Amino acid sequence: MGKNNKIAKPQQVNIKNKRASFDYEFIDTFTAGIVLTGTEIKSIRQGKASLVDTFCYINNGELWVKNMYVALYMQGSYNNHVERRERKLLLNKKEIRNLQEDTKAPGFTIVPVRIFINEKGLAKMVIALARGKKEYDKRQSLKEKEDRREMDRAMKH
């Protein structure tokens, strides 16, 4: 045994969709598995993915995420993945049916919130059933954020 036999702790992956909480009010959240290819999971583990302008839809009883960006894996060869392909999300049939019923109502949609790697090393996506905010709701959110920032500053000094 050498001196430097420390076990390397895997880097925590936490890719967020910051715009989603500003544009939408979350009603309910779910954690879904993502169907990925070999080079996609390697890029996600390096934190090279984005949820900007991403949305979910249900097609033939299956949940799909569209427009999710996963950067090309640098060591990938000719089997590298397509960066913005549609990826299947894994949920129970009952959860998918409930989401499908809820999204039939006007103003409701399914929004990806966050991607993370669980303890088993699998990529998971937190999705939310969301209702779009009105312009005055967004202004209210900004005001609350500004007030919290002011209070934190006052507490610091």
Q: In this predicted model, what pLDDT tens digit does every residue of 108-123 receive, in sequence order?
A: 999 999 999 988 889 9
Neighbour tally for 75: CB within 10 Å: 7
3-state helix, strand, coil in the chain (%, to 5): 30, 35, 35
Q: Is the separation of the CB atoms in 132 and 17 below 8 Å? A: no
Q: In this predicted model, what pLDDT tens digit does every residue of 34-66 receive, in sequence order?
A: 998 888 888 888 888 889 989 899 999 999 999
Mapped onto helix, strand or coil, the DSSP state of residue 64 is strand
Q: Is the separation of the CB atoms in 145 and 45 below 8 Å? A: no
Q: Is the separation of the CB atoms in 107 and 16 below 8 Å? A: no
CATH of domain 14-156: 2.40.280.10
pTM of the shown model: 0.78
pLDDT band at residue 14 using 50, 70 and 90 as cut-offs: confident
User: H-helix or E-strand containing 89?
Assistant: strand 87-90
- Rounded CA separation 139/68 (Å): 28
Q: In this predicted model, what pLDDT tens digit does every residue of 118-144 receive, in sequence order?
A: 888 899 999 999 998 887 777 888 888
Q: In this predicted model, what pLDDT tens digit does every residue of 62-73 receive, in sequence order?
A: 999 999 998 888
Tokens standing for 140? 């209210």
Q: Is the separation of the CB atoms in 94 and 33 below 8 Å? A: no
Averaged over 13-32, what is the pLDDT? 88
Mean pLDDT (the chain, rounded): 86
By CB neighbour count within 10 A (0-12 exposed, 13-18 middle, 19+ buried), where does 111 fall?
A: buried
